[in-house]
Amino acid sequence: MPGSALPFPPRDNGEIARTPERYLLRGRKKLLARLIDVVGNTACFCGRLFRPVSAFDVGKVGRILVIKLDHIGDVIMATSFLLELRQHFPEAQIDVMAKPSCVALLKYNPAVDNIIPFAAKWSMRQTDGDDKREFTAHLSEKYDLVFSMRGDLRENYLAWRIGAPWRVGYAIRGGDFFLTHVAAYDTNIHQTDRDRELFSCLGLPQKEKPLPRIFLQEEETQQAAEFLRKSGVDLNRSMIVIAPQAASVLKAWPVERFIRVAQAMQNPQASVVCMLPPEGEKIRREFAEKAPHVILPEPVDLRILAGIFSHAQVVICNDSGPMHLAAAVGTKVVAVFGATCDDITGPPPGCGQVLAPTENRPRWYAGTPPPPEDDCLRALESVSVESVVAAAENILREIKN
């Protein structure tokens, strides 16, 4: 029943360390991207002298492709863009190209007609995808409009290879010459607001902004409920879910703190559940030893995890995929942030509470080298157990009232 493992691999310090060599390599890639940009922009300028880009015409858009080869939280946030895109093009066919691990997040989304799994090697933690063969199979598909949502040179290239007359995206990592329309990339606003610039550069008026959302079927929520019952959860009581995993140790509040929260939240009127992937066996043993009242179900796939979150009153977590997943099914979160920017990638307003350092907070923007590891860990540790417990209890009181 549980299905496939959660794609949140644990990271020990050896794996997560941002070594100078890694960023030297990244610097060399940036240098190469700039060189490609110089050559590409020169060729593009010459080409458009003879074949200018046609003016954008909404009436000629029948098929749209959105390229979103990103991680779980980013894909969930992009559902806001997709839902607004459907408002602009109610009759168009909208397809989304996503990493195989993220396909489940888009299932049953009314804004999406087809989901194209694409294991692009540069977007995978393990480079085992045959991306060239997979992508070649999609080149025969004809689209009128393509959105490249990550600002990556390689994904802008994919948009160009597809051959759509209008190609919209960002140029923060190069490849703007592959696009017909380049959107502004504002690093100071929330990611869901920044994505709306993709509409603005086409001259489309902004509509009411939808919240990111995962669409669950009734049978999925029932399946999740049955799984919880078999795991020993009494659904007649309040349910507090703890999700202590994070994609990086630099985003992970200490496990010992989560255990202390679980101990403090012990209550005859509530079940405390800890959801972990298979790789979280060490954490599972720590919870079992130090907080035996916590229910530790087996790992589940993303759809069932979303269903479990939908039954919870609150999810306590890091800045992580589970944070976005819980918020996207309407469950309040208490999320611990350290150096990462909750004003850019945090949950939407009204979806719970973010707890972050109030003083001397380092800032780690996506796609940039992190601050020193000690600073990141110190920022996380400055968030107290008492503040997390108080935030969760406030949410439970609000729900009860």
Residues 179 and 280 in one domain: no
Evaluate if residue 180 carries a pLDDT over 80: yes
- Amino acid in the structure at residue 238: S
Give domain status of residue 376, yes or no. Answer: yes
Exposed/middle/buried for 221, CB within 10 Å: 0-12, 13-18, 19+? middle
DSSP-derived 3-state class of residue 334 = strand
Residues 124 and 226 in one domain: no
Last residue within a domain, chosen from 200, 227, 244: 200
Cβ atoms of 26 and 51 closer than 8 Å: no
Residues 245 and 328 in one domain: yes
Give domain status of residue 35, yes or no. Answer: no
Residue-averaged pLDDT of the chain: 86
Enumerate the β-bridge partners of residue 242: 274, 316
Evaluate if residue 15 carries a pLDDT over 50: no
Rg, Å, the chain Cα set: 22
pLDDT in the model for residue 136 = 59
Which CATH number goes with the domain that contains 252?
3.40.50.2000
Residues 192 and 307 in one domain: no
DSSP-derived 3-state class of residue 309 = helix
Residues 277 and 229 in one domain: yes
Compute the distance between CA of residue 381 and CA of residue 372 in angstroms, rounded to an integer.
Answer: 15
> What is the mean pLDDT of the segment spanning 76-85?
98
> What is the mean pLDDT of the segment spanning 186-193?
92
pLDDT in the model for residue 36 = 60
Residues 163 and 101 in one domain: yes
Residues 166 and 236 in one domain: no
Give domain status of residue 127, yes or no. Answer: yes
Residues 237-266 pLDDT 10s? 999 999 999 999 999 999 999 999 999 999
DSSP class per residue in 24-45: HHHHHHHHHHHHHHHHHHHHHH
Give domain status of residue 12, yes or no. Answer: no
Residues 143 and 289 in one domain: no
- The strand pair at 166-169 and 145-148 is best described as parallel
> What is the mean pLDDT of the segment spanning 73-98?
97
Edge-first strand order for the sheet with 352-355 is: 270-274, 238-243, 314-318, 332-336, 352-355
Residues 276 and 163 in one domain: no
Enumerate the β-bridge partners of residue 295: 273
pLDDT in the model for residue 34 = 62
Residues 311 and 269 in one domain: yes
Give domain status of residue 5, yes or no. Answer: no
> What is the mean pLDDT of the segment spanning 172-190?
88
Residues 235 and 267 in one domain: yes
DSSP state, residue 278: G
pLDDT in the model for residue 31 = 62
Residues 94-143 pLDDT 10s? 999 999 999 999 999 999 999 999 987 765 554 445 555 555 566 667 89
Higher pLDDT, residue 201 or 37: 201
367 CB neighbour count, 10 Å cutoff: 11
Lowest mean pLDDT among 6-20, 64-78, 237-251, 337-351: 6-20
Give domain status of residue 27, yes or no. Answer: no
Number of domains in the chain: 2
Give domain status of residue 26, yes or no. Answer: no
Residues 302 and 358 in one domain: yes
> What is the mean pLDDT of the segment spanning 285-294?
97
Domain containing 227 equals 218-400
Last residue within a domain, chosen from 152, 168, 200: 200
Last residue within a domain, chosen from 136, 170, 200: 200
Cβ atoms of 181 and 168 closer than 8 Å: yes
Compute the distance between CA of residue 263 and CA of residue 283 in angstroms, rounded to an integer.
Answer: 15
pLDDT in the model for residue 3 = 38
Residue 3 zone, left/alpha/beta (φ > 0; ψ -120 to 50; rest): left
Residues 51-63 pLDDT 10s? 556 789 999 999 9
Give domain status of residue 319, yes or no. Answer: yes
